[in-house]
Amino acid sequence: MTIDLYGFGPALAAGALMTVKLALTALCLGLVLGLLGALAKTSSYKPLRWLGGAYSTLVRGVPELLWVLLIYFGSVNAVRALGEFIGMPDLTLSAFAAGVLALGLCFGAYATEVFRGAILAIPKGHREAGLALGLSRPRIFSKLVLPQMWRIALPGLGNLFMILMKDTALVSVIGLEEIMRQAQNAVTFAKHPFTFYMVAAVMYLGLTVLAMGTMHVLEKRAARGFVRRT
């Protein structure tokens, strides 16, 4: 069985590449934000705890679609001010950058909770042992807490990444040419909405399978030393 794509095959493939690029870039930003959010939320300093809590509550309470639209249209003045400050007065936020910011922000808010859970799951004794050994706090964090946190947080982060990958479809509304947008272009040009949206759906499924496979490998690697050998 062959499906006639009316010459939109390459466009859809380019869309898939854009989707992957967007998802991975937003993931990097989201991981950093999530880690910072979790550190703030578990901090012993009250204003920081409050800030971390406000970040994750505010961002998670508003639809992702609204964040995409708000950041794309709402960042104008802030970006212009920044542009003038660094000497590039014509600086604007591209659809890609807006998409990365919006999706990274949302991923980070959920990742804050995942990382926080992981930090709390690490026995207090480990940190105390580190202190007793005379390790500095940053060293305890990077050598003791972070590697263990990674293993505990990985499944949760994997789920969030699957959600992130599907949320990339929302960035089509600000004109970024990812899978969804390319499918819409194809429908405008060649009709057959069911065919093109189904092809797009299958492409997302393929990406999901790929991500699931990667997660499986990562989880296995992270669990080294925790699996009982028989």
Partner 1 sequence: MQNYKKLLLAAAASLVFSANALAVDKYKVGIEGAYPPFNNKNASGQVVGFDYDIAMALCAKMKAECEVVTSDWDGIIPALNAKKYDFIVSSLSITDDRKQAVDFTDPYYSNKQQFVAKKGVDFKTDIESLKSKKLGTQRSTQAATWLEDNVGGDIALYDTQENAYLDLSSGRVDALLADKYAIYGWLKDDPAGKDYEFKGNPINEDDKVGIALRKGESDLRTKLNLALKEIKEDGTYKKINDKYFPFSIE
Partner 2 sequence: MLLELFIKWLPKLIQGATLTLELTALSVIAGLIVAIPLGIARSSSLWYVRSLPYAYIFFFRGTPLLIQLFLVYYGLSQFDVVRESVLWPYLRSPFWCAVITMTLHTAAYIAEILRGAIQAIPPGEIEAARALGMSRFKTLVHIVLPRAARIGLPAYSNEVILMLKASSLASTVTLLELTGMTRTIISRTYQTVDMFLIAGVIYLVMSFVLIQGFKLLERWLRVDACQGR
5 binds partner 2 (CB under 8 A): no
199: Cα separation from own chain's centroid? 24
* Mask for 29-58, x = binds partner 2 (CB under 8 A): -----------------------------x
Q: Report the chain's terminal Cα–Cα distance, integer Å.
A: 47
* Mask for 94-133, x = binds partner 2 (CB under 8 A): ----------------------------------------
Pick 61 or 138: Cβ nearer partner 2: 61
Q: For partner 1, how many residues bind (rule: CB under 8 A)?
A: 27
Left if phi > 0, otherwise alpha if psi is -120 to 50, otherwise beta: which for 93? beta
From partner 1, partner 2, none, which one binds at residue 177 (CB under 5 to 8 Å depending on kind)? partner 1
Residue 59 tokens read as 């961002």
174 binds partner 1 (CB under 8 A): yes
Site for partner 1 in 13-42 (CB under 8 A): 14
CA 212 – CA 201 distance, rounded (Å): 16
From partner 1, partner 2, none, which one binds at residue 48 (CB under 5 to 8 Å depending on kind)? none
Site for partner 2 in 161-200 (CB under 8 A): 162, 166-170, 172-173, 180, 183, 187, 192-195, 197-198, 200
63 binds partner 1 (CB under 8 A): no
CA 215 – CA 219 distance, rounded (Å): 6
CA 33 – CA 39 distance, rounded (Å): 10
Whether residue 109 contacts residue 55, with contact meaning beta carbons closer than 8 Å, is answered with yes
| Cα-based angle 166, 168, 173 (whole degrees, multiple of 5) | 125
Whether residue 163 contacts residue 60, with contact meaning beta carbons closer than 8 Å, is answered with no
Task: List the one residue out of 108, 228, 81 whose CA is nearest residue 164.
Answer: 108
CB of 95 to partner 2, least distance (A): 15
Residues that bind partner 1 in the complex, under the rule CB under 8 A: 6-8, 10-11, 14, 69, 72-73, 75-76, 80, 90, 92, 173-175, 177, 184-191, 193
